[in-house]
Amino acid sequence: MLNFSANLGFLWPDLPLPERIRAAANAGFRAVELHWPYDTPAGDLRRCLDETGVTLLGINTPVGNPENGDFGLGAQPGREEEFRDTFRQTLDYARDAGASAIHVMAGLARPEARAAARQTLINNLVHAAAAAPDMTLLLEPINQRDNPGYFYSTIAEAAEIIETTGASNIKLMFDCYHVGVTGGPDAVVPRLEEYLDHIGHIQIAAVKSRAEPDEGDLDYKTVFSALNRLGYEGWIGCEYRPRGDTAAGLGWVKALEVDL
């Protein structure tokens, strides 16, 4: 049986965060994942999770200053202290809210600065992994079409970084949407097979619209069949942008013959 979580960065966007959690619970989701929940006190978030019986999986590290083009601080040479300060804040929030994973956002890197960015990221990850032995740290390759210049866009790049750190609590966030946009839909299942042991979390959305997974070029029935065959027991995050009303869009669950 596959396990699906609601990504509340995209689902029920018109509701306050506590109400999004309740909506997800009412829809049948047993777990949620968040992007940047920091405007909601961690204690309030945890109380809502306890009331609904929903599990919080993970949150993202802050992006930095988006007005200056920041989209993560992990691979930013010269900003190591800023990364470590914000990671500590993220870790404290995650622990207080009851999360078990943190997506460490690498950020953008200019081509001529990639070597320095890579070493900075490795150093920051080693520090973060040691500071958070109770957390799974996730690295997510993000496609260049949507986010030009993001430090890594392929599973192979992120897996190599993980192996270099030597930290057992750093895993891949395998977003089928990003993998499908970067390498084409036919690349998704082979990459799942190749990197299964590195994967700590999976996400889904239609390729290439990022809408519900019952449309587009990637056949999710094939993906789900592969995950069952591979014995994947982790969570699958529904990180898609609904075509319209979130609840109405959940018809994909029946269409793809799965259960929440």
pLDDT tens digits for 87-107?
999 999 999 999 999 999 999
Q: Which of 163, 105, 99, 173 is nearest to 132 (CA)?
A: 99
Count: domains in the chain: 1
Phi, psi of 163 (to 5 degrees): -60, -35
Query: For 11, left (φ over 0), alpha (ψ -120 to 50), or beta?
Result: beta
The answer to whether residues 2 and 225 touch, using CB atoms and an 8 Å cutoff, is no
Buried b or exposed e, range 67-83, using 16+ CB within 10 angstroms: eeebbbbbbbeebeeeb
pLDDT 10s digit of each residue in the chain, 260 long? 999 999 999 999 999 999 999 999 999 999 999 999 999 999 999 999 999 999 999 999 999 999 999 999 999 999 999 999 999 999 999 999 999 999 999 999 999 999 999 999 999 999 999 999 999 999 999 999 999 999 999 999 999 999 999 999 999 999 999 999 999 999 999 999 999 999 999 999 999 999 999 999 999 999 999 999 999 999 999 999 999 999 999 999 999 999 99
Query: What is the separation of C-alpha 118 from the centre of its chain, rounded to a whole number of angstroms?
Result: 20
Q: Show the domain range for 69.
A: 3-255
pTM: 0.98
Q: What is the pLDDT of residue 102?
A: 99
Question: Considering 33, 80, 239, 257, which one is annotated as catalytic?
Answer: 239
Let me know if residue 236 belongs to a domain: yes
CA dihedral over 12, 172, 212, 67, signed as positive or negative? positive
Q: What is the pLDDT of residue 63?
A: 98
Question: Considering 82, 140, 157, 160, which one is annotated as catalytic?
Answer: 140
CA 39 to CA 32: how far, in whole Å? 17
CA 140 to CA 146: how far, in whole Å? 14
Let me know if residue 260 belongs to a domain: no
Q: Examine the residue annotation and report whether 239 is marked as an active-site residue of this protein.
A: yes
200's tokens: 């700590």
CA-based R_g, the chain, Å:
17
CA 15 to CA 19: how far, in whole Å? 6
Q: What is the pLDDT of residue 18?
A: 97
- Sheet-wide strand order for 58-60: 55-56, 31-33, 3-7, 235-238, 199-204, 170-175, 136-139, 101-103, 58-60
Task: Assign residue 73 the CATH number of its domain.
Answer: 3.20.20.150
Q: Examine the residue annotation and report whether 82 is marked as an active-site residue of this protein.
A: no
Q: What is the pLDDT of residue 84?
A: 98
For 38-49, the pLDDT digits (tens) are 999 999 999 999
CA 254 to CA 150: how far, in whole Å? 35
